[in-house]
Amino acid sequence: MRTTMRKMFLPLFGAIGALAAVAIPALANDRYAERPPVMVSPDLSAPWVTQLGRAPGVVRSSRGYAVQQPQWGQPQVRYRQVAPQGQYYRQAQPRVQYRQAQPQAGTDRVRTAAVPGRPVRRTVARPQINPIYLPQEVAFDGKEKPGTIIIDTTKNFLYLVGDNGKARRYGVGTGKPGFEWAGTHKVSQKREWPDWRPPSEMIAREKAKGRYLPTFLAGGIENPLGARALYLGSTLYRIHGTNQPWTIGGAVSSGCIRMRNEDVVDLYDRVKVGTTVVVM
């Protein structure tokens, strides 16, 4: 009986062994064979796809970049391809828009940034400086010698007398009504980014108007004396810069002579201590 069963199963075992001998190499080859890539449809190129990073077999669209449409109040996120293998990186940039404030006649245009989710801040349009108050070379027929500073408080001009009947003219701001003065002094000091110590009379005067001035303010862009100051004799008057350049050309000060910061720096470099200043 055993001999009969053995004779029956021997051909079957032989067939199974032959099949295994053929199948095992095929399975081994399939194990290391390269799988076909998984194709992602373009309409599935959503942000989650880009988070797959170097996932094997993922092939992205060949387009240079894909942009996710931002929601209001969210930064715009752009996904840019940086390697042909499909690696990506994220670069977030806030959507900044620039709006033009409607200018009034004779004023500068003011550009303000609109940030999503935040109300637009509009800057007050400042009056535009008349070009006649910008520095320029003019004819001069006065008797003062070259190097003298002459200030015309009626026309709001400062002249630095030059040679050959020429002068360099700057626009200035001068004393408001009740604070006009005239006289001749020498430049006694020169200071870069000067400190400001308002006189007690000014502090009291402004306090009566509801404005409180500091007793001391260090030099800087917020300082009303601006970038440079030329002190006149032993008086409290100065030729100085300003952090309000739109006031140049008017009667606006408490007696000092205001200049644009860039203009007072130019004048500062041209004159020395001891220069004569004539205020008319």
**Continuous segment of H or E residues that includes residue 30:** helix 2-32
User: What are the angstrom distances between the C-alpha of 111 and each of 75, 105, 117, 123, 256?
Assistant: 21, 16, 18, 8, 32
C-alpha–C-alpha distance, residues 183 and 230, integer Å: 16
Give per-residue pLDDT as tens, 8-51.
655 655 656 665 555 555 555 556 666 666 665 554 445 544 45
Give per-residue pLDDT as tens, 220-249.
999 999 999 999 999 999 999 999 999 999
Cβ atoms of 193 and 227 within 8 Å: the answer is yes
CATH 2.40.440.10 in the chain: give the residue spans.
Answer: 131-279
Nearest alpha carbon to residue 50 among 94, 88, 3: 88
The per-residue pLDDT for 129 is: 86
Q: Render each residue's pLDDT in the chain as its tens digit; 280 residues.
A: 555 555 565 565 565 666 555 555 555 555 666 666 666 555 444 554 445 544 444 444 444 444 444 444 444 444 444 444 544 444 444 444 444 444 444 444 444 444 555 555 555 566 778 999 999 999 999 999 999 999 999 999 999 999 999 999 999 999 999 999 999 999 999 999 999 999 999 999 989 989 898 989 999 999 999 999 999 999 999 999 999 999 999 999 999 999 999 999 999 999 999 999 999 9
Cβ atoms of 76 and 94 within 8 Å: the answer is yes
Mean pLDDT in the chain?
Answer: 75
For 83-91, the CB contacts below 8 A with 24+ separation are 85/54, 86/58, 86/59, 86/60, 87/53, 87/54, 88/50, 88/60, 90/50
Cβ atoms of 186 and 276 within 8 Å: the answer is yes
Q: Which residues are known to be catalytic? A: 240, 256
The per-residue pLDDT for 128 is: 79
Cross-strand pairs, 272: none
Does the domain at 131-279 match CATH 3.30.465.10? Answer given as no
The per-residue pLDDT for 65 is: 42
